[in-house]
Amino acid sequence: MENNTQLKQGPDFILPGSDEKNHSLKDYLGKNVVLYFYPKDNTPGCTTEALDFKAHIDEFDKLNTVVLGISKDSVKSHCKFIDKHQLNFILLADEEKHVCSLYNVLKEKTMFGKKTIGIERSTFIINKDGYIVNEYRKVKVAGHVEEVLNYIKDNLI
């Protein structure tokens, strides 16, 4: 069992989801939450990561864990992404980048020689009491979902 005095509360938020409902972190108290931030719908790395979560969603469900993806894409974009790849979890739209700022995932990137601010692929594991128990920054897609799943199996059940 974690000692919550050393853990940081996951910043709460309200964002529109691909299911056309608003979602708040506190809606999921009593469940573990995998909150993953990704740069953009329908790009190669983001698609691979989403498909990896899709492939393991039943295992997350058995571990009382909900998976939520967040990017700055619109709900409409998320719905197209979900339909195209038959994703089985909710994506949240942070078009104003407010939640990205709360979780400090906006980083300067250089693309084609031009500096931009974008989402650094990051994952936060939040326990059933709403505390961040692990975070992954600068995520490499290959093997990441399995790493997250193993962390939850080893630490949160």
Of 46, 145, 148, 152, the active-site residue reads 46
- Nearest CA to 72 out of 43, 92, 48, 47 is that of 92
Active-site annotation holds for 79: no
- 139 contacts 121 by C-beta, under 8 angstroms: yes
Of 100, 43, 45, 48, the residue nearest 71 (C-alpha)? 100
Cβ count within 10 A of residue 99: 21
Active-site amino acid positions: 46
